[in-house]
Structure 1
Amino acid sequence: MATTIKLNDDLKARIHRLADQRDRSAHWIMREAITQYVEREAFKQDAMRAWNDYQANGLHLALEEADAWLAKLEAGKDAEPPMCHE
């Protein structure tokens, strides 16, 4: 799907300079920037949803609990995530 984006001359020039410096195309730079922006915004929404859930019910995991679970996964063990608690 083709999409048109209107950019001012200064921003276009900056994108092209950056593309040249990175040995990438201007298209790649713009697509990467948009992808990172969309992923960052989705992450922020997930974080806000989690914060609102915590505010509503107080359920959480302590850092030590999460670290222990992640260490098991990193070691290749099949481990269920710990249960949230108050």
Structure 2
Amino acid sequence: MSTSVPPTVPMAVKIDLEMKARIQRLGDARHRSMHWLMKEAIRQFVEREEQQEVLRQEGIQAWESYRDTGLHVTQEEADTWLARLEAGEDVEPPHCHV
């Protein structure tokens, strides 16, 4: 079975000499090329930011839902539920109310 490699395109990024030296030192220590380190750093950054954007959108949707319906749980209800989960109990989340 052959695996397909997505096409890549070259891209220039300007960095200062100090940052270049830091990347080179890290690459030497990890036995990785500067190219590999920079690609990995970009991949991790994009994945983290995409996850943050998903959470941000979910927060916006939750706020809009609350504004529309008034349904919510109190901090105490949420804390109690989370404490029970942390204690290993398999409990349902608290029900939303007005």
TM-score class, shorter: 0.7 to 0.9
Structure 2 partner of 1:46: 58
> How many angstroms apart in 2 are the aligned matches of 1:37 and 1:5?
22
Structure 2 partner of 1:10: 15
Task: Give the structure with the higher percent helix.
Answer: 1
**Aligned residue type for 2:79:** D
Structure 2 partner of 1:31: 43
CA displacement at 1:29 relative to structure 2: 0.6
Aligned length: 85
Structure number with bigger Rg: 2
Structure 2 partner of 1:79: 91
> How many angstroms apart in 2 are the aligned matches of 1:73 and 1:65?
12
Structure 2 unaligned spans of 5+: 1-5
- TM-score, normalisation: structure 2: 0.70
Paired residues of 1:15 and 1:26 also in contact (CA < 8 A): no
Taking only aligned residues, the RMSD between alpha carbons, in angstroms, comes to 2.8
Structure 1 ranges of 4+ moved more than 6 A: none
Cα 1:37–1:64, aligned 2, differ >3 Å: closer, same or farther?
Answer: same
Identity of matched residues, % = 35
> How many angstroms apart in 2 are the aligned matches of 1:48 and 1:6?
34
- TM-score, normalisation: structure 1: 0.79
